[in-house]
Amino acid sequence: MPDVQFFAVLPQQNRQVSKIRLHGTLDPNAEQFSVNFVNDRTCIAQQNIAYHFKEIVSTYPQVLIEDYKENGEWQDYQEKELSAFDGRSELASINHKKHKNQTQSFNADDAPPFSSTATAFALEFSLNYETNQIHAYNIQDDGVNILSSYDVQVPLQHIQALQVWGNVDKVTELTLLYE
């Protein structure tokens, strides 16, 4: 896998980060990229990764891989297919413009054709400290579609930095939202 393309140390404040938005562009002919939530401010050791989000963008349907690393060993490999809207059934779509939760039903067969030449990504990660989960969303013009909910095995408060790996040209935006 290519080296780290981007990393950011999260500020240690009295308030907890509730959402992280990440926008970027992919290399032409990109195959994959990943986002790691790490427990190390230097982002060097990579022995403990609280949450590993990896998207394989060169296949149809795309594949999402999630895992965590403890003492240098991957622990919980999970893989699932993503459709163009990530869903063949009911999805919670959060419309940020209206600030209302809506439910929309998408059928993967009705989805527009997938383009393996996608050149950008826009993700939002919502951190739920009460349930110790990270919810990953794909940001779209009219809101966000949930990609996954992952039960993190270490307290979210231990996450100190964010890494972006893979076929990423650049990160164009990193936004931290607080409760």
CB 160 within 8 A of CB 38: yes
Q: Which domain holds residue 151?
A: 4-178
Backbone angles phi, psi at 37, to 5 degrees: -100, 105
Number of independent structural domains in the chain? 1
Q: Which candidate, 36, 59, 32, 25, places its Cα nearest to that of 136? A: 36
pLDDT above 90: residue 125: yes
d(CA 5, CA 102): 35
pLDDT digits (tens, 9 = 90+) for 130-139: 999 999 999 9
Under the banding of pLDDT at 50, 70 and 90, the label for residue 40 is confident
Query: Residue 54, by phi and psi: left (phi above 0), alpha (psi -120 to 50) or beta?
Result: beta
What pLDDT score does 45 carry? Answer: 62
| Domain CATH code at residue 134 | 2.60.120.200
pLDDT above 90: residue 63: yes
DSSP 157: G
Most distant CA pair in the chain, distance = 47
User: Residue 13 belongs to what H/E stretch?
Assistant: none
pLDDT digits (tens, 9 = 90+) for 156-169: 999 999 999 999 99
Whether pTM > 0.75 for this model: the answer is yes
DSSP letters, 99-124, are TEEEEEE--GGGSPPP-TT--EEEEE
Is pLDDT larger for residue 41 or for residue 94? 41
pLDDT digits (tens, 9 = 90+) for 141-152: 888 889 999 999
Under the banding of pLDDT at 50, 70 and 90, the label for residue 175 is very high
pLDDT digits (tens, 9 = 90+) for 12-30: 777 889 999 999 999 988 9
Place of tokens 């459709």: 83
